[in-house]
Amino acid sequence: MVLTVDIGNSNITMGVYREDCLLFVARLATDRSRTGDQYAVELKSIFALYHVVPKDFEGAIISSVVPELTAAVKKATQMVTGHVPLLIGPGLKTGLNIRTDTPGILGADLVVGAVAAIHTYELPCLVMDLGTATKISVLDEQGTYLGCTISAGVGISLDALATRTSQLPHISIEAPHHVIGTNSPDCMQSGTVFGTAAMLDGLCDRIEEELGRPVKTIVATGGLAKEIVSNCKRKILYSENLLLEGLKLVYEKNTSKSGRLSQH
């Protein structure tokens, strides 16, 4: 079995694979104050919940956009699985050709999402990740990573509205029945869900204009993606576990079938 772990700003998502089968996905709240020992306890509890035996792991791999937590989660993973996890970053083979100004510092989540998209979907492709931030990565016909757009995530926008206004409440993220709201929650939901969907449609239009050709595939992932992209006018595929799939692919690129580090 292989443990894949994606450390995001809001959640730590982990998936356990046996060969190509994803056995389960679990999520922990990202807590920058937790230690490696605390995360190790939580990992052991999750494995017990899903009847997974830690000694059956052959390895693990981690992507992280929260540097202050990387060491703690790496320690926890090694303690529980008995293997030093691979870390997405310089020196690890991904097979991804990155054509940005600073390719060495491209976010690990963007890297593994792109790797999974290239492996799975027809190119050129746009990869949307709707989490704490809303990101759209651009991949050309050869799978070259050309760049991306980044904007404030849906949750951040809603928190700002509720926190920095006197009369607007905290609301759930779901589409209302009408674009024209007649009460505060519906108005906020319309602006947030339909507004974000319209932004995504518009950005896709502008990206294609700049590329000079249409893309073949648009795929979305992230905790807030399903609700938002279902309200887009564009055809957007939804892949709940795209980043975990990318992590598994990178793990396989850097290991042999026996699970030992590849020497090639």
Q: Is 257 helix (H, G, I), strand (E, B) or coil?
A: coil
Phi-psi region of 4 (alpha: psi -120 to 50; beta: other; left: phi over 0): beta
Judge whether 109 counts as a catalytic residue.
yes
Contact between 201 and 233 (Cβ < 8 Å): yes
Run of H or E residues at 37: helix 36-49
SS3 category, 127:
strand
Residues 51 and 132: their CA atoms lie apart, in Å, by 31
Q: Give the active site residue among 31, 56, 109, 205.
A: 109
Measure the CA–CA gap between 34 and 56, rounded to whole angstroms. Answer: 26
Long-range contacts of 144-153 (CB under 8 A, 24+ apart): 144/97, 144/98, 144/99, 145/96, 145/97, 145/98, 145/99, 145/100, 145/103, 145/106, 145/110, 145/111, 145/114, 146/99, 146/100, 147/99, 147/100, 148/110, 149/203, 149/207, 151/199, 153/224
CA distance 57 to 53: 8
3-class secondary structure, 218: strand
Q: Answer yes or no: are the C-beta atoms of 154 and 134 closer than 8 Å.
A: yes
The type of residue at 109 is D
Active-site annotation, residues: 109
